[in-house]
Amino acid sequence: MTEVMLNEKRKLGVCQRLLEFAYDARRFILHNRSIIEIAPLQVYYSALLFVPTTSLVRRKYLFGFPWILMGPKVVRRWGPLMLTLEGHSSWVRAVAFSPDAKLVASASGDHTVRLWDTATAGSRGVLKGHLDCVNAVVFSPDGKLVASASSDGTVTLWDLATGGSCRVLKGHSAWVRALAFSPDGKLVASASDDKTVRLWDPATAEPSGLLEGHSSWINAVAFSPDAKLVASASNDKTVRLWDPATAGSCGVLEGHSGRVIAVVFSPDGKLVVSASDDGTVRLWDTATAGSCGVLEGHSNAINAVVFSPDGKLVASASNDKTVRLWDPATGGLCGVLEGHSSWVNAVVFSPDGKLVASASNDRTVRLWDPATGALCRVLEGHSDYVLAVMFSPDGKLVASASSDTTVRLWGPETEASCRILERHSNEVNTVVFSPDGKLVASASDDHTVRPWNPATARLLGVLEGHSDRVNAVAFSPDAKLVASASSDGTVRLWNPATAGSCGVLEGHSDAVNAVVFSPDAKLVASASNDKTVRLWDTETGESSGLLEGHLSSIRAVVFSPDGKLVASASFDNTLRLWDPATGGSCGVLEGHSSWVMAVVFSPDGTLVASASDDKTVRLWDVTQKTIIQEIHTGGQITDLAFSAVTNLDTGPGMLTLTSRPNPSNTTWEILPPPLHVIGEWVIWNRNKILFLPWDYRPSSSVVNNDILVMGHQSGHITFMRFDPTTLARHLTFSSTQLSPVQGKNFCCSIFLL
């Protein structure tokens, strides 16, 4: 008998482990759907590397990669995020579940509605026809129709069976921002910037009523469960209740101190919930129009609010990038869903309440399990968008600048945030090390520049005086001066040791975008939106030249190593060379098909490199004023620097320039960076070696030899270190096993497929 019981327990244990593994495998597949579709063999690499450390699939199949010396830090357990749906090319403004919860519809600024399968995350179609942004989308109660509202002033009804447009509802004189079907499907309500709500018969496309009374745009509209009331939310800071049968007013709900963005009825119709850009959610009694409570906790405007089907939860979506879950009975917070990297515009529960869908400006729709709690943070770090990352001159520190108003210093070898530089009161736009690495200067939207000692994290002073955001900061070659450029149209010189002002350089008539010292520190050059470069004497602060000729804003400016030339890069798609001694033009370099974002001279001054919004880097011969070589980077590059005559640092990676054997030595071969990031891929020597999931794709990145540092919109910093020798061995081995063509494909398939 005892033996039988033990056998039964063993069987139960085996079944339990199998169920746990099956659950984990499902989460693994859903989490990595995009990897499986785009690059299936990356399941053995990226998919295993970026899932939670306690994942049973990861534990069973991750044996380590000899070519990755330092992997990314990831969460320990699965969070509530179930799926990320990618496909829209612009902001996702609205999201809705079908009545049977088998489909999700998303509306986007790319003028389309997309349909998704909630079980597989697969695309079920794209609804095209609107001429402008689609602001709202909703299913009919019977699930046979989808209605979408657009900035083109129309509402379109789509037949789900065919995917085609069946009716277009015209009548509004401005953007249509919101939609709702009545519970019986016999009416559609649309809310517009024309300050009205219109009621329509979806069967005939005929108007059924006009609700007028708001004094500003109407952002949201909702029917009560019995269809006897309509609620509308407006920029006039009020919610209005209406009788759809008579188009008469049934009450005005006042209390918000900002625009009311969203409104919804509880499932029993006894409550109305409204959300505002004042950062609060308010509960109202529909019978008395009185307030029933205020839900506070979001740190920014709230764009959407919704009840769960059983009425026991309220979900709110905010510009603070989170969705919050609330108990409407107590007003208590039940959970925070974190993971979006930009504003969350919409949120909705599935009909069974087991899923929450959210739509964001990060161009994704995310599905969450509201029962599992808040998503764990990946890595202690910034709490907002990382705007810039930079290595110190010796490569031992990384500085990151963020919208969270801080600068963080990191040790790449330990992946630890070793210093937090906190004193700015607004987002930090840029951070730069002094040439000797002994100082760090940060520039901010709070109109100040702050110098720091990176060894001690001590603030050395506050450089105050600008009346607008500081766009750029530069150290002089000897680090005795700092120059700052501002949107207030001025350049200021400072002594970083004393935090004292050394002069105000005035003359530009528009924002100054860039500033640089000459090699001897006797001149400063500044580039402005006023289409000019100005030269200044650092001793006297007087103007010493005005360089005119560009036809649009100037993005960047740089001196040649000997100080005898100045190069400027402009939004007019050109580079210009100047003689700083005379102010005369020395040539126009034309060829880019879009804005030129960065420019730099080679150490010997014979070459100029330029980076453009056309996703190319071009090399130019300074003497001949001709293009030598063009390389397609596959992504936008905004920073350039030569570390040697043959090494061009692009920020994301190093370009190696190797001269071909010919007497003139004017033709160059450009080898792509050994290590860099383009889009969703980590690249090594032209090979896509690692697919980056959505949350790990960088907002900024920097490479130092074999270390890759990525800053993310979420505020996290990811460090990875690769072994070039092992990578080379793997790639060489792959290419020798097959024919040259097969080898190339196989080489790619090992890492990128």
Token pair listed for 549? 């000729």
Helix (H, G, I), strand (E, B) or coil at 687: strand
Strands 188-192 and 92-97: unpaired
CA angle 318, 323, 326 (to 5 degrees): 110
pLDDT at 645: 57
Please give the pLDDT value at position 207.
Answer: 86
Q: How far apart are CA 121 and CA 741, in angstroms?
A: 34
Strands (E), 266-371: 271-276, 280-285, 291-296, 302-307, 314-318, 322-327, 332-338, 344-349, 356-360, 364-368
Tell me, letter by letter, the H, E, C secondary structure of 198-260. EEEECCCCEEEEEEECCCCCEEEEEECCCCCCEEEEECCCEEEEEECCCCEEEEEEECCCCCE
* Tokens (6 digits) for 436: 């000797």
User: Are the beta carbons of 441 and 473 closer than 8 angstroms?
Assistant: yes
The two three-digit tokens of residue 725, written as one number: 């020798």
What is the reported pLDDT for 440?
92
What pLDDT, on a 0 to 100 scale, did the predictor assign at position 448?
A: 92
pLDDT (0 to 100) of residue 738: 34
Averaged over successive runs of 10 residues, the pLDDT of the chain (753 residues) comes to 54 73 86 83 87 88 85 80 78 85 88 86 86 91 91 91 83 91 92 91 88 91 91 92 89 91 91 91 88 89 89 90 90 86 82 81 78 48 74 80 84 65 87 90 92 88 92 92 94 90 93 94 94 93 92 94 93 94 92 90 87 85 85 67 63 56 44 72 85 84 83 80 83 46 31 30
- Three-state SS across 147-209? EEEECCCEEEEEECCCCEEEEEEECCCCCEEEEEECCCCCCEEEEECCCEEEEEECCCCEEEE
Q: State which amino acid sits at residue 281.
A: V
Locate 276 and state its tokens.
């505002």
Burial of 617: CB neighbours in 10 Å, binned 0-12, 13-18, 19+? buried
Please tell me what DSSP assigns to residue 676.
Answer: E
Tokens encoding 566: 């100045």
d(CA 609, CA 712): 28
- Classify each residue of 171-198 as buried b or exposed e, where b means 16 or more C-beta atoms within 10 Å of its C-beta: bbeebbbbbbbbeebebbbbbbbbbbbb
How far does Cα 376 stand from its chain's mean position? 19
- Closest C-alpha to 157, from 183, 186, 188: 188
pLDDT the model gives residue 241: 92
pLDDT at 325: 92
Q: What is the pLDDT of residue 31?
A: 83
